[in-house]
Amino acid sequence: MNIVISDPKTRRAYAKAVESMPFQGKKLGDEVDLSELGLEGYKGVLTGGSDKTGTPMMARFPGTARKKLLVYPGIGFKKGEKGERKKRPLRGNVIANDIHQLNVKLTHYGNMDLEATLGKPKEEKKEEKAKA
């Protein structure tokens, strides 16, 4: 499972791969303690995620199931005409075993430095690969 931790102060995102499922059973919008990821004193809010097939999670859809929902432009459906709605596959808002990526936004900061703990932010790694 990949966890993407976004820092609103520096506007950077850090990726962390974990073996276990630390936030199983939590819902999108819940505040979680990030000490399970090795970030003592840090807290964050679950903002979104996707499963192995890339199906996005939707905060308004309860449960863990994946269903095709009739949605208007927003999550799972980009730009449409005025009043247009489409059926799109979406996941529920509860974290389950088959979630592949989880997005977390930091709300409380600890004493540790994020770059020292998690490594370089995502966008800097991409730039280094492009140069090589």
pTM metric for this prediction: 0.82
> pLDDT tens digits for 21-69?
889 999 999 999 999 888 999 999 999 999 999 999 999 899 999 999 8
Report the pLDDT averaged over residues 105-126. 80
What DSSP string describes 51-82?
Answer: ETT-PBB-TTS-SS-EEEEEE-SBTTB----T
Q: If we measure between CA atoms, which residue out of 7, 81, 93, 89 comes closest to residue 42?
A: 7
Residue 39 makes CB contacts below 8 A (sequence gap 6+) with 5, 110, 112, 114, 117, 118
